């Protein structure tokens, strides 16, 4: 399927003229995968079944990125605040994550995608850390894309952690206050080396960032959808990309066609 097949009804004229070759494809897409619990609740199923179905959506979206040539995909899988959930849900989620890593490594190899992770990884159970490490090592030379899992991730924690590390380097004499630029600050974040997200998608009708990529999203475009994450399809992902490709990003400047 190409982007054009995913054309929403009533989409703008330019989109009809586009092909996936000349569409402006986002380099980096971030997704806040939300709504697994509500999906399960609607079906009288335990929450974990929603998470399990959500893992299938991840598989579909990774495939879609490969088809559309989206090079960086960052998935918000577990937030620092999600540690507040019940022990049972956390342990089921961690089990699912480990299983997902074992199962999906073949796809990452097939599409030549490198796995990366950001967050307070030391808080994860050791078996999850082990699985992450194995998959990251196995995919480290893949050069067609980067899949980043945000795990035990919170952007305020990330920013404070960066500030502490910068302060430590300053105290040790490795940095002067005037060396602290936006670029330097970015390089101390967990996401160092990743471009800022061009497009951030959030499912399940919530319209908030919930502590995801606060610094990095300063000029991101947003796509909010009522679809619950387990129902999020490849076609909808492609619609979001198509919508993005029609937007004008001005970064505070002016362009000829909007005055
Ligand atoms: C998103 O789904 C997955 C995680 C946050 C781990 P939720 O579990 O938040 O689902 P809802 O929001 O309760 O429906
Ligand atoms: C955000 O979803 C975190 C992830 C998708 C991992 P939540 O369900 O935790 O967010 P809130 O609590 O609705 O803001
Ligand atoms: Mg939620």
Ligand 2, atom 2: closest residue by C-alpha: 34
CB burial readout 105-141, b (16+ within 10 A) else e: beebeebebbbbbbbbbeebeeebbebbeebbeebee
Domain assignment present for residue 254? The answer is no
Give percent above pLDDT 90 in the chain: 89
* pLDDT single digits (tens) 87-126: 999 999 999 999 999 999 999 999 999 999 999 999 999 9
Closest residue by Cα to residue 32 from 215, 213, 158, 231:
213
Domain assignment present for residue 5? The answer is no
Task: Given the residues 5, 22, 34, 107, select the one marked as catalytic.
Answer: 34
Domain assignment present for residue 197? The answer is yes
Domain assignment present for residue 257? The answer is no
Determine whether 82 is an active site residue.
yes
CATH of the domain at 93: 3.40.1180.10
pLDDT of 21: 58
Domain assignment present for residue 258? The answer is no
Domain assignment present for residue 14? The answer is no
Parent domain of 61: 24-244
* Number of domains the chain is built from: 1
Atom index in ligand 1 nearest the CA of residue 51 equals 3
Confidence tier at 255 by pLDDT (50, 70, 90): confident
The pTM assigned to this predicted structure is 0.92
For a mutational test of ligand 1's pocket, the pick from 41, 45, 46, 50, i.e. the residue with the most ligand atoms closer than 8 A to its C-beta, is: 50
Q: Give the strands of the sheet with 28-32, arranged side by side.
A: 113-118, 145-153, 72-79, 28-32, 199-202, 221-224
* pLDDT single digits (tens) 133-163: 999 999 999 999 999 999 999 999 999 999 9
């Amino acid at each position: 399927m190409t982007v054009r097949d995913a054309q929403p009804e009533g989409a703008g004229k330019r989109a009809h003229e586009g092909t996936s070759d000349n569409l402006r494809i986002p380099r980096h897409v971030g997704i806040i995968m939300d709504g697994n619990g509500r999906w399960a609740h609607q079906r009288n199923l335990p929450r974990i079944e929603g998470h399990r179905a959500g893992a299938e959506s991840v598989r579909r979206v990774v495939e879609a990125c490969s088809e559309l040539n989206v090079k960086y995909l960052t998935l918000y899988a577990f937030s620092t605040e999600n540690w507040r959930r019940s022990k049972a849900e956390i342990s089921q989620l961690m089990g699912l994550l480990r299983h997902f890593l074992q199962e999906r490594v073949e796809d990452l190899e097939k599409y030549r995608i490198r796995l990366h992770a950001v967050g307070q990884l030391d808080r994860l159970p050791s078996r999850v850390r082990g699985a992450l490490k194995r998959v990251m090592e196995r995919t480290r030379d893949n050069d067609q894309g980067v899949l980043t899992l945000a795990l035990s991730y919170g952007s305020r924690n990330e920013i404070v952690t960066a500030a502490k590390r910068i302060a430590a380097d300053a105290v040790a004499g490795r940095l002067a206050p005037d060396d602290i630029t936006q670029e330097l600050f970015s390089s101390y974040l967990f996401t160092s080396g990743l471009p800022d997200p061009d497009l951030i998608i959030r499912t399940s009708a919530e319209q908030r960032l919930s502590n995801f990529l606060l610094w990095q999203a300063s000029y991101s475009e947003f796509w909010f959808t009522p679809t619950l994450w387990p129902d999020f399809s490849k076609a909808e992902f492609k619609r979001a990309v198509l919508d993005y490709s029609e937007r004008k990003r001005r970064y505070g400047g002016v362009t000829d066609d909007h005055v």
